[in-house]
Each structure stands twice: as C-alpha cells, then as structure tokens.
A and B are shown apart, each in its own frame.
Chain A
Amino acid sequence: MVVARSHAVTRENVDADTLRTLYRHMLRSRVLDERMWVLNRQGRAPFWISGIGHEAIQVAVGMNMEPGRDWLAPYYRDLALTLVLGMTPRDHILSVLAKADDPNSGGRQMPAHYGSRAHNIISTGSPVTTQLLHAAGIALAMKMRGEDSVCVTSIGEGSTSGGDFHEALNFAATHKLAVVFVVENNGYAISVPVEKQMATPNVADRALAYGIPGVSVDGNDVIACYRTARDAVQRARSGLGPTLLEAKLHRLTSHSSDDDQRRYRSADDLAAERAHDCLPHFRSMLEDLGILAPGDAERLRLELVAEVDEATAFAEQAADPLAESALLHVYAEDD
C-alpha cells in the first residue's frame, strides 16, 4: 500500500503542555548549540557541526519516542533529538572539549558523533548512511523478540544518494520492520544544492518504490512535524512497518565550523532562510495563543543559558583522557 505524501496536517489535538515542552526542548538545543559555536570560535573546541535550524523535527520525533524502550540511530545534526531522549548539555560539552568522561566516545570521536547505551542511542561514526542498516537490524531483532519497540534513524538528504539508503529501506519494508526513517532535508550536501543531487523534488517520493508511506513535512512547522512523527511512530509500533519521513528545513549555519557557506550561497538566500527559523516562529505562535505569557520565553532562555553555563564550567574542569588510554577497548578483553 502506498500512502500519498501529505502537507494536510492540522494543529488539532496537540495540548498546551506538549506545545510548551516542544518549545523548551527546541530552545534548549539552540542555546547549547550556540554555545558550541562560541567554544569553537574562542579556540577552546576544535570542531563543531551544528543542528541549528533542524530542531523542530528532531524534538517532534523525540517527543513521540519512549525513552528506555525505543532506540535511535542518529546522525551528526541530532543534538536536539539526543537531548529529548535524556542526554544532557554536560554530556555534549564534555564531548566538544574531548574529555575523558564524554559519554559519546570518551573524547575519541569528533563532536556530534552521538552514542549512549544508557539512552538506547547507538554509536555513530563519520561515514554517512551506514546507520540506516543498523536501524533495520535493531528493528529486526525487536520483531524477532516479539517486542513493539521502535527504532528511529535519521540522515540528511545528501546521504539518501548512497547505496545503504536503498538497502535499508528495501530490507525494512520487505520485513515490515518498526523503523522510522527521518530525512532532515536542508537542501544542501555541504555545498551541493539538492537539485544537483537528485531529480525528484521530494525524497519522500521514493517511498513509493519500497511500498511504504512517504511523508514530506514542513520542518519549520513543529506542530506539523509532531503530528507526522506521531503517526509514523504509531504505525511502526503497531507492526505496519516503516515510514519515510522527510522534513524540509534550513541549515541555518555553515556545514561545520570548518566551512563558510557564504562562499557558495548568496547573502539573499541566507537571509531568506533566517526569516523561516522555526524557533521565533513557534514562539510568536505560542505567545499569540497565550500559551507563553509575556516574559516566559525570556525567563526560559535565561534558565537554559544558566544550565549551559554550569555545564561549560563542569566540562572545562573535567579531566582529559590519559594518553595511554588510547590502547584500550580495541577488543572486549582489553578492559
């Protein structure tokens, strides 16, 4: 069965508390992400790769997952998603400063290479798209054990050109596995615009070829994202199989701290994308609806900045890895 792509998402049935929580998660990730850039530009962190502009879909997906039960095979822009699932600003600042207690990798990997067994977030490396097959394998194991857990996996649209994308969707669809494939389509694979990557206007259209639903959603509209994610997770949990969920959004930063997108994009384009930032748009809506009172958003921002200040101070005091520890954990018996 093929379900058509749909933009027809209403704002009904999302209550005020959920809306406030969505906003808090989005803002928390944004505040932390901005701190990472500051640490990088101050020369304290060698590298950062950002999720600014991607928060709405990530928070929407994360809020529909059950921590402790569902699993995530993420990619490097998923800061907000890891926070929703329980990772903390401390965890990630330890990582950006490459500290021994970084739960992602103990300072071994570049920042934003997420992973935490305690949160069912599998470790991810730098090659892109490989994790989609891991998600299919996780969901296969879930199904073999008769569990109704869900595995979410995410990638950028650039990675959908690789072979593992096809192999993972084909396998998960064939066996009706509980995977939600989230494509965070920001329109650029580093510097290459989407029209030079693929001939289809929507990644979600490819779902037709796998016999699964494909949904394309406005990734700057968090409520649309929330409802779409809820449907996809419920579909997976009820045993109906995977969904290809594409969120169209904007990468509001350069690809990474080593990139400068002004070299390949016009100032007008960049300004236009800024105007679609999911966060102020959502804040205005919540204030218009009276869900955020005047001053609420600013109070919340200060609270989150204080949390990130504390996390920064904590991480800066933390120990670096011992040089000789480089030899540990090649195999299990090295412990």
Chain B
Amino acid sequence: MPTKSYLEAIREGMRDEMRRDERVMILGEDVGAKGGVFGTTEGLQAEFGEWRVMDSPLAESCIVGVCIGAALYGMRPIAEIQFQDFILPAVDQIVSEAAKMRYRSNNDWGVPMVLRAPFGGGVHGALYHSQSLEAMFCGVPGLKVVVPSTPYDAKGLLISAMRDPDPVLYFEHKRAYRSIKGEVPDEEYTVPLGSAAVMREGRDIAIFSFGMVVHMALEAAERIAADGFECEVVDLRSLRPLDRAAIVSSARKCGKVMVAQEANLAVSIASEVAAIVAEECFEYLDAPVMRIGGPEIPAMPFAHALEDFYLVTPDKLEAALRTLAAY
C-alpha cells in the first residue's frame, strides 16, 4: 500500500470524490490558483475549473452561507475555512442555519455540506493560527464533527463526510499535514462517521484523544510500556457523535482513564468523555479520571517557550501516565 502524507490523503479524498460526483465543489480563500495556504487543494482548480474550485472573498459567513444555499439546491459543497480560528464570523450560518435546517423544516430540507478547517498549534501560529475550537461545535445537535489523526482516516472520513446528507465539520490538524505519513490505498474507501479506533491495545490505562495528541499518546504509551504498564490508546476520530460504546468498553477494560487534548479543559471534549465514564463506568474505575489539556489562557502564545508551555507533549503525558499508573 502506498505511503502518503495526511495532507495528500485529504487532497486525494477531495479529488477522487470530485471525479466521481460532479456535485462536489470547493469554496474557500486561496483554494484556486494557489491551492490553499497549506497546499491542500493544489492542482484541483486546474483539473476541475474555476467554478468547482472557487476562490471566495475574505468573508467566512459568505463562504458557509453560499455553501448552504448550494447544498439546498442539490450540490455537495466543501466550505474551506483557511484557519479554524477564523470560523467565528460563520458561526451564525453554521449553528443557526446548517445545523437546524433539517429539524426546523421537519425534514423538508437538509444541508449536505462539509466544512473543512485546519486547527491546532505547534507551528508558531500564535493566538489566531493555533486554536482548537472543536468544543464550540460538539454541543450542537444537527452537526457532526470529525478529526482524523492518520492519513488513512483523513481520506476515509472525508469521503464519508462528503457523502453524508447532513453538515459535517471536518477539522484537520495543521501540524499533521506533512509530519504524519501512513499507508493510504489508492482506491476509494470510507471510514464511518461516529466510530472511534483503538490505535494500541492495553489493559492498564485507557487514553482517549484525537488529532495530533493521539501521536503524543502513542509515544508516551511506548515509553511506559518498558516499565510494564500497557496503555490502550483510543483515537476518538468522531467528536460528535462520540463513540460511546468504544469509550465505555476501553474504560471498563482498563479501570484507569486519561483524556488528552490540545484545547483548554473547561467544557471540552475531555469533559464530555469524563462525564460518560462517570455515568457508565463508575464501578469499574480504580482511579479518578485524569484530564490533560491546555491551560485556561485565551489561546496559544507565539514565543517558543510560551508555545511549549501550552502544548501537550509526550513528556507531559508520560509524567501524567506514571502518576495515574501509581495511583
């Protein structure tokens, strides 16, 4: 099986689906001749033309609102928000319109739209090119939210998202674009929305995470395995809906639970996973649930030392895992 980067897998997912389904179109800033600021849409305008791969004005509400309209008319639009940090002007369109369209019309209308946005830090993006804003959308019924951590899932989840009849927010970790490589079939395949993946089996501590932190967790798990502690690393992949059964299964099996994410912890995915574990695994727990994430500061600062302070790293996870293992 060929090895591809996370970014190549995303591009291939869009390209293949655009070849298969002429309703698929992309609207976003710099997605055309430039191919996106990260190169995600490179070559797509040359292949599919200026209408199907369209440069938008610098107006995020416009990008999402126009895609909603096109979806209502029967297209399968992909709205690209250049950085997730800039999604906020589009929140009214996402939450008030796309998320509620099917419900408020009593199933008369739906919005089959994918919204792609790079998120996450570790690239010296400072406050407004580093955020992880997923929690803002994961409490909104009517939306689906996915975050791939591997190139295989990046392509498979994206194809599923493009074929889904409802709006899917597809958040891609920008630091993964070129640093994460993996096996990706050339042919088409799908990864179902709503399912977590066990990345490493273990019996002592269940670690739930998503995005780049999955890779940190895998590294930390290897380090403490040398001392006889076996972690089960679960990539949540789908943040709305969460794969409740997978969470409960791994938590009960291990009896100790860590939830690790890049965002600050208050009212977050980690909070929700911890609540599920408290509700459904109480009698199985051998230690309090441990949550690891960013500090409660507005966003990730620029300077090297400040950014490092913010980020979850294998070292920080290893230390926390040793504490949890010793409990």
Contacts and interface: CB of A to CB of B under 8 A. Distances in A.
B179 interface: no
Nearest to B107: A329
B59 interface: yes
A137 B96 contact: no
A122 interface: yes
Nearest to B141: A330
Contacts of A125: 96-97, 100, 104
A133 B60 CA distance: 11
Contacts of A103: 108
Contacts of A331: 102, 142, 144, 165-166
A144 B51 contact: yes
A163 B65 CA distance: 12
Contact of B106 (A71, A105, A139): A105
A133 B106 contact: no
Contacts of A133: 61-62, 64-66, 68-69, 93
B73 A138 contact: yes
Given A134-B97, A141-B75, A168 B65 contact: yes
Given A123-B101, A123-B105, A125-B97, A73 B69 contact: yes
Given A122-B72, A163-B89, A171 B104 contact: no
Contacts of B65: 130, 132-134, 136-137, 164, 167-168
A97 interface: no
A18 interface: no
A170 B69 contact: no
Contacts of B100: 125
A44 B61 CA distance: 38
Interface in A234-249: none
Given A125-B100, A136-B66, A141-B74, A332 B165 contact: yes
A142 interface: yes
Nearest to A113: B104
Contacts of A174: 57
Contacts of A171: 56-57, 59, 62, 66
A115 B105 contact: yes
A137 B72 contact: yes
Given A71-B73, A144-B52, A137 B61 contact: no
Contact of B102 (A116, A130, A136, A330): A330
Contacts of B73: 71, 137-138, 141-142
A151 B308 CA distance: 51
B110 interface: yes
Interface in B29-75: 51-52, 56-57, 59, 61-62, 64-75
A146 to B, nearest CB: 11
Contacts, number: 134
B51 to A, nearest CB: 5
Nearest to B106: A106
B309 interface: no
Contact of B70 (A132, A138, A329): A138
B70 A141 contact: yes
Nearest to B241: A331
B225 to A, nearest CB: 39
B109 interface: yes
Contacts of A135: 69
Given A130-B96, A137-B67, A144 B75 contact: yes
A117 interface: yes
A109 B62 CA distance: 25
B16 interface: no
Contact of B104 (A123, A140, A335): A123
Contacts of B72: 122, 134, 137-138
A38 B152 CA distance: 61
B104 A105 contact: yes
B316 to A, nearest CB: 37
B108 A137 contact: no
Contact of A130 (B70, B97, B106, B166): B97
A131 to B, nearest CB: 8
Contacts of B75: 141, 144
B188 interface: no
B69 A141 contact: yes
Q: Could you say which of A116, A142, A143, A164 has the most chain B C-beta atoms within 10 Å of its C-beta?
A: A164
Given A133-B68, A134-B97, A136-B69, A328 B107 contact: yes
Given A115-B109, A117-B108, A137-B69, A163 B103 contact: no
B25 A144 contact: yes
A108 interface: yes
A236 to B, nearest CB: 15
A168 B63 CA distance: 10
Given A167-B59, A167-B61, A331-B142, A140 B106 contact: no
A108 B69 contact: no
A115 B108 contact: yes
Contact of B66 (A105, A108, A140): A140
B169 to A, nearest CB: 14
Interface in A153-201: 163-164, 167-168, 170-171, 174
12 contacts: A115-B109, A122-B72, A123-B104, A123-B105, A125-B96, A130-B96, A133-B65, A135-B69, A137-B73, A140-B69, A141-B74, A170-B57
Given A141-B73, A167-B59, A167-B62, 8 more contacts: A115-B108, A115-B109, A134-B97, A141-B74, A142-B73, A163-B61, A167-B57, A171-B59
Which 10 pairs across A and B sit closest by C-beta, in order of nearness?
Answer: A137-B69, A133-B65, A106-B106, A134-B69, A123-B105, A141-B73, A167-B62, A137-B66, A332-B165, A137-B70
Interface of B: 25, 51-52, 56-57, 59, 61-62, 64-75, 77, 89, 92-93, 96-97, 100-110, 141-142, 144, 165-166
Interface of A: 71, 73, 102-106, 108-109, 113, 115-117, 122-123, 125-127, 130, 132-144, 163-164, 167-168, 170-171, 174, 328-332, 335
